[in-house]
Each structure stands twice: as structure tokens, then as C-alpha cells.
Amino acid sequence: MRITHRDLILLVIAYFFAVTSSYGFVFWLPTIVKKASAVSNLTVTLITALPYCVGLIAMLLMGWSSDRTGERRYHTAVPMIAISLGLLLSAMLQNSVVMMVAMLCLAAAGINGYLPVFWSLPMSFLSGSVAAVAVGLINSVGNLGGFVGPYVVGYVNSETNSFFGGLLYLSMSALVAACLILKLRHEESGERNTALQPPAIDA
């Protein structure tokens, strides 16, 4: 397998930006709600449970829809666009707690919706041990975003005393991930598997 394969590189980078956005969202969600609403910790806990409930429904629906149609690329990119839109609008609507939470629910739907479909993408052009190595590479490099996202949001908030800049950064990260997914090429699975398999060794 060539680790320089175009689609594999796109998946690695896309997952990095997607994880940057999702981890930044998950890590700071209670604090964002608390700062915007100024309610008790118990109420904040109840409010922050709503996006996860919506996310669960989105995960099931996107997985079902993708399996029914056999389409993977748009079922991954569209939820990522939903993440971007939800985070952008939540940053702009922080003065309205209800609208902000609604947009955070949209972002959560995207965060949970893309996951079951994303991991089927490497399998569309890889197989066997090659696919296992590719998934490990995507996961290990991509998960570095789990540090970058929360760190950037925290840093921007400490410098500006506002979550606007941090949410904007997370929104742009999700949009970059969606654009990279849309750049994946359409090739026949059989041709891709043949191209990426290690050469046979003659006895």
C-alpha cells in the first residue's frame, strides 16, 4: 500500500479537521451553554443532553440511509457541513439561548451523523490487511485534532473572553473536512483494490 495515495491522504486530513471540530464542541459545550444562559449546573447538564439525543437519532438515520442507497461520500460530507453551519450560527446567536442550543443540536447531529459512514470510505478502495493499516493511520493522525480543537477554543476564549472566535474556528474546520471528502475520486472498488495491494511475490 502506498501511504501517498491521494484518497488516503484526503481521508487522513479530513478526519483531522473533523475531529478538531467535534472534540472542540464536546469539550467546551457545557461551558458555552453555562456562559450563555447563566443557569444552574443541573440545568446546564439537562440542556447539554439535548444535542446528544439529537445526535443519536442522526447517527441511526444517516447509517440507515447510506446503507439503503449505497452512497457514502455525500452521506459523510453533508453532516460535516451541518456541523459547520450549526457551529457558525450558534456563535452568531449566543444572545438567544434557545436558538443557540437549537444550532448546537444541528452541530451534534452532524458530528454523530458522519461517523458511521466515514469509516466505510476506506473500505471502498481498500481491503484486508491494507484496509486495517489505513484505518490505523487515519485514526492515529486524525485524532491529533482531539488536542488541537479544545486547545484553540480555550486559548481564543481566554484571550477574547468570548467563544465566538473558537466556534468560528471549529466551524471552518468542519467545512474544510467536508470539502476534502467531496474531493474523493469515484473509481471502481475492484480497480482501487488492485492498485493498492502489495505486489505478488513469485515463488
The model's pLDDT over 92-141, given as tens digits with 9 standing for 90+, comes to: 998 899 999 999 999 999 999 999 899 989 887 777 777 788 888 899 98
Secondary structure (3-state) at 114: helix
pLDDT at 186: 54
pTM: 0.85
With cell 471502498, the residue in question is 124
CA–CA dist 95, 36 (Å, integer): 7
pLDDT at 190: 39
CA–CA dist 44, 102 (Å, integer): 14
Alpha carbon distances (Å) from 12 to 7, 81, 169, 172: 9, 18, 19, 17
| Domains of the chain: residue spans and CATH | 11-183 (1.20.1250.20)
- Are the C-beta atoms of residues 19 and 119 closer than 8 Å to each other? no
pLDDT at 110: 96
Name the stretches of the chain with pLDDT < 70.
1-4, 186-203
Alpha carbon distances (Å) from 45 to 12, 55, 62, 153: 33, 16, 26, 20
pLDDT at 7: 87
pLDDT at 202: 43
Residue 162 — φ and ψ, nearest 5°? -150, 145
CA–CA dist 138, 143 (Å, integer): 8
